[in-house]
Amino acid sequence: MNAENRRLRVLFINRSYWPDSEATGQLLTELCEGIAEEFDVHVLAGQPNATSEDEWKSTQVRNGVTIHRASHTVFPKHFMVLKALNFLSFVLACWRRVGKIPVPDVVVFETDPFLLPFVADHLRKRSGCRIVGYLQDIYPDVAVALGKVGNNWFIRRLRKSLFAVYRRCDQMIVLSRDMKTLLLRAGIKEENIVVIPNWADTDRISPVNGLNDFLNRNELNGRFVVMYSGNLGLTQRLEEFITAAHQLADNEEIQFVFIGRGARKQSLEKMVRDLGLTNVRFLDYQPKDTLAHSLSAADVHLIPLTQELSECLMPSKLYGILASGRPYITNAPPTSELHEITVSHDVGMTVDAGKVEDIVRAVDWAKTHPTELKAKGCRARELVLSRYTRRQAVASFAEVLRNLT
């Protein structure tokens, strides 16, 4: 490589990438474009969720990143069986497509879907490339924690195989100290684990404290807005926040707003209809260039994180919320990093998971203490600028790659 004086070729594998609106896809896009000046970056991605003909091309270059598209099924995601077929189809498509991509020096796998480590390990065995695991979440632990699957013989065998790949990786990158703890318990060496938190684009997302187009467009001016923005999926367990909205229904000034899509959206909408709630609204994902307005429209945000999930993932929505200069309510367990961040930096409020009355009290407190709430928001913005910027994450990731040469 040095003799040829060429840049290190790095291949990322993940289903979601630009132009998809999922957080993992947006973050990966920002990361890859951030390191593309130093490295020869390739991405093996899935078919975009909503796209133009140009974005379906099997190979294209965007902002210095070569994107290779795998052809796979795109069944509706509301049905678990069809979603599983989409994931399996993508994994098989990657298995076929990876042999047609220029051989990388380093392959970095993410976990969308969670079987991608096997594709990366296959490429390592075939080409001798280095391998890096970049875990946005840890499967099958997430699925077991949610009760989607039982911890049966097959799942235990699958977990053993996945973690065997992790132990063969040259480096494992996780988002939090809690995720690192889980990997350490699984026998992965500490020197092979790096914590690189997710981030926010602090130039694009900043506090909007004056006129706000999002508030105007959605007729929310004058309301106290309690917002959840992100994936409406199984890991979030948003039902208790809907129940809290039900208990606050008599206060017409308070409006709950849920922004996003996901496997649970239809059931949550049905729950709201069945309860006859008029203080809960559902909106689609907002365009990336309007995130500052939508996130700043909240008086307080919601970040769910249960005990079972706290070692399996770290909510990426935290960083956009901090960047918008808004506080949040979280039900993260007291032992979690999210809880520690919230308390030690005084940027939000903590409640006990499953206790709807705690959520109600937190919302009431936030509404009746505007000065204290504003101070929390100011500290949130200061925190993201000091610890969670894109520039810091890109620099940390680039250092990991350099150390592999």
d(CA 29, CA 25): 6
Do residues 84 and 192 share a domain? yes
Do residues 394 and 383 share a domain? no
Residue 208 lies in a domain: no
Q: How many Cβ atoms are within 10 Å of 386's Cβ, its own excluded?
A: 10
pLDDT number for residue 243:
97
pTM of the complete model beyond 0.85: yes
Residue 381 lies in a domain: yes
Do residues 73 and 181 share a domain? yes
Do residues 261 and 341 share a domain? yes
Residue 111 lies in a domain: yes
pLDDT number for residue 105:
98
Do residues 367 and 242 share a domain? yes
Do residues 46 and 26 share a domain? yes
Residue 322 lies in a domain: yes
Domain membership of residue 297 as a residue range: 213-387
Residue 206 lies in a domain: no
Q: How many domains does the chain have?
A: 2
pLDDT in 10s for each residue of the chain, 405 residues = 444 568 999 999 999 999 887 888 999 999 999 999 999 999 999 988 665 555 566 789 999 999 999 888 776 666 677 777 887 888 888 898 888 899 999 999 999 999 999 999 999 999 999 999 999 999 999 989 888 888 899 999 999 999 999 999 999 999 999 999 999 999 999 999 999 999 999 999 999 998 899 999 999 999 999 999 988 877 777 999 999 999 999 999 999 999 998 878 999 999 999 999 999 999 998 888 899 999 999 999 999 998 889 999 999 999 999 999 999 999 999 999 999 999 999 999 999 988 999 999 999 999 999 999 999 999 999 999 999 999 999 999 999 999 998
Residue 151 lies in a domain: yes
d(CA 46, CA 139): 20
Do residues 398 and 352 share a domain? no
**CA atoms within 13 Å, Cβ hemisphere of 381:** 18
| Contact (Cβ atoms closer than 8 angstroms) between residue 179 and residue 313 | yes
| Contact (Cβ atoms closer than 8 angstroms) between residue 145 and residue 120 | no
Do residues 264 and 177 share a domain? no
3-state secondary structure the chain: CCCCCCCCEEEEECCCCCCCCCHHHHHHHHHHHHHCCCCEEEEEECCCCCCCHHHHCCEEEECCEEEEECCCCCCCCCCHHHHHHHHHHHHHHHHHHHHHCCCCCEEEECCCCCCHHHHHHHHHHHHCCEEEEECCECCCHHHHHHCCCCCCHHHHHHHHHHHHHHHHCCEEEECCHHHHHHHHHCCCCHHHEEECCCCECCCCCCCCCCCCHHHHHCCCCCCEEEEEECCCCCCCCCHHHHHHHHHCCCCCCEEEEEECCCCCHHHHHHHHHHHCCCCEEEECCCCHHHHHHHHHCCCEEEECCCHHHCCCECCCHHHHHHHCCCCEEECCCCCCHHHHHHHHCCCEEECCCCCHHHHHHHHHHHHHCHHHHHHHHHHHHHHHHHHCEHHHHHHHHHHHHHCCC
Do residues 90 and 177 share a domain? yes
d(CA 181, CA 174): 10
Residue 4 lies in a domain: no
d(CA 133, CA 39): 18
Do residues 21 and 55 share a domain? yes
pLDDT number for residue 129:
96
d(CA 191, CA 172): 9
Residue 204 lies in a domain: no
pLDDT number for residue 2:
47
pLDDT number for residue 1:
44
Domain of residue 353, CATH code: 3.40.50.2000
Do residues 134 and 226 share a domain? no
